[in-house]
Amino acid sequence: MSPTSHHDILERLHALDRALADHGKWMAQLNRQLICGGPPASADVAEDAHVRCAFGAWFAGAGRALLGQEADYPAIESLHRSMHDTARQLLLRHLEARTIEPADYDAFMAIAARFRQMLRTLEQTLMERMGAVDRLTGVWNRQAVHVRLTEEAERVQRTRQPCALCYLDLDRFAAINEAHGQRAGDAVLQGVAAFLAGRLRAYDSVFRIGGEEFLLCLPNTDLDQASSLIQRLRQDLAATPFAAAEQEVRVTASCGVVALDPVFFIEELLEQAERAQLIARREGGDSVCVWRDGLEPASHP
Q: What CATH number is associated with residue 188? A: 3.30.70.270
Tally the C-alpha atoms within 13 A of residue 43's C-alpha that lie toward its C-beta: 11
Backbone torsions φ then ψ of 290, nearest 5 degrees: -105, 130
- DSSP secondary structure letter of residue 39: P
pLDDT of residue 301: 53
Summarize pLDDT for 208-246 with one digit per residue, the tens: 999 999 999 999 999 999 999 999 999 999 999 998 877
Residue 166 domain flag: yes
State pLDDT tens for residues 258-299: 999 988 888 999 999 999 999 999 989 999 999 986 555 545
The pTM assigned to this predicted structure is 0.64
For residue 296, being part of any structural domain is answered with no
Nearest alpha carbon to residue 288 among 171, 192, 137? 171
Specify if 51 maps to a domain: yes
Do 118 and 235 reside in the same domain of the chain? Answer: no
Question: For the domain that residue 54 is a member of, what is the CATH number?
Answer: 1.20.120.30
* Domain limit, last residue, from 104, 130, 156: 130
Could you tell me if 251 and 285 lie in one domain? yes
> Do 123 and 177 have their domain in common?
no
The residue length of the chain stands at 301
- Regions of the chain where pLDDT drops below 50: 1-4, 298
**Calculated CA dihedral for residues 147, 126, 82, 102, nearest 10 degrees:** -70
Residue 103 CA to residue 49 CA, distance in Å, equals 22
Query: Same domain, yes or no, for 147 and 71?
Result: no
Domain boundary among the residues 130, 150, 172 is at: 130
**Angle at 78 (CA atoms; ends 77, 84), nearest 5 degrees:** 90
pLDDT of the residue at 3: 38
Neighbours of 155 (CB within 10 A): 17
Q: What is the distance between the alpha carbons of residues 264 and 30, in angstroms, rounded to a whole number?
A: 38
Same domain, 121 and 236: no
The sign of the dihedral angle between the CA atoms of 230, 232, 238, 244 is negative
Contact in structure between 164 and 249 (CB atoms under 8 Å):
no
In the 8-state DSSP scheme, what is residue 42?
G
Domain of 87 in residue numbering reads as 3-130
